[in-house]
Amino acid sequence: MYTGFWIDNNYIWGPEESGRFWIDGGFIWGPYNSGKWWIDDGWIWGPTDSGKFWIDDGHIYGPSKTLPWLRK
């Protein structure tokens, strides 16, 4: 399912926290949960929902519309 989030210029945009998270060195950084998730070969890995979200043509897909690093 398309989550409603996309990546542009290494920033993550979408319906929540748009532009507040970014990708650097393959890791996802932001105001919280910073650096706990990483991207490898188009798949997103981390402490929760590891390997359940993926990126295709800059769009983020997964089993839920809530990205795991947005959970506080």
pLDDT band at 72 (very low <50, low <70, confident <90, very high): confident
Task: Give residue for tokens 């993550």.
Answer: 12
| Residue 2, burial from CB neighbour count under 10 angstroms (0-12, 13-18, 19+) | exposed
Q: How many domains does the chain have?
A: 1
Tell me the β-bridge partners of 58: none
pLDDT average, residue stretch 65-72: 93
In tens, the pLDDT along 3-61 reads: 999 999 999 999 999 999 999 999 999 999 999 999 999 999 999 999 999 999 999 99
Q: Which residues contact 72 (CB under 8 A, 6 or more apart)?
A: 32, 33
pTM of structure: 0.95
Domain that holds residue 64: 2-70
Query: Distance between CA 32 and CA 57 in Å, rounded?
Result: 26
